[in-house]
Amino acid sequence: MAGYDDGRVACTDDGLLIRHYYLFGAKSISYQDIREARWVSPLGFAARWRIHGSGDFVHWFNYDPGRPRKNTAIVIYMDQRVRPVITPDDPEAVRAELEAHGVSVTTGAESMS
């Protein structure tokens, strides 16, 4: 059962589900695999208009056509080079879910393209 689900991002009992991450599929990330989640607000111009994919081969944005109207992103740090970036409809709810599952959520600047 999901504690949060906006159709693109879901926090389940087991982890974070990012829909439309790959061209035709979702990405599941176990909470234990997340080293840190970084709260980024305001979302910069280039990142705001990145509807899908990456501009720097480090940050990967799932498909979200509503991103230009959003101001907050959450960057997921794991033990890999590529960092998933999500822009949930309710970032406060996702932050609460991540913290409830033991994920450290920090605030800071992030250079994303």
Span 55-92, pLDDT tens digits: 999 999 999 999 999 999 999 999 999 999 999 999 99
Span 33-48, pLDDT tens digits: 999 999 999 999 999 9
Domain CATH for 79? 2.30.29
Domain count, the chain: 1
Write down the pTM of the prediction.
Answer: 0.94
Do the domain assignments include residue 39?
A: yes
Do the domain assignments include residue 112?
A: no
- Which residues span the domain enclosing 60? 4-107
Do the domain assignments include residue 113?
A: no
Q: SS3 for 53?
A: strand
d(Cα 69, Cα 55) in Å, to the nearest integer?
Answer: 19
d(Cα 3, Cα 72) in Å, to the nearest integer?
Answer: 20
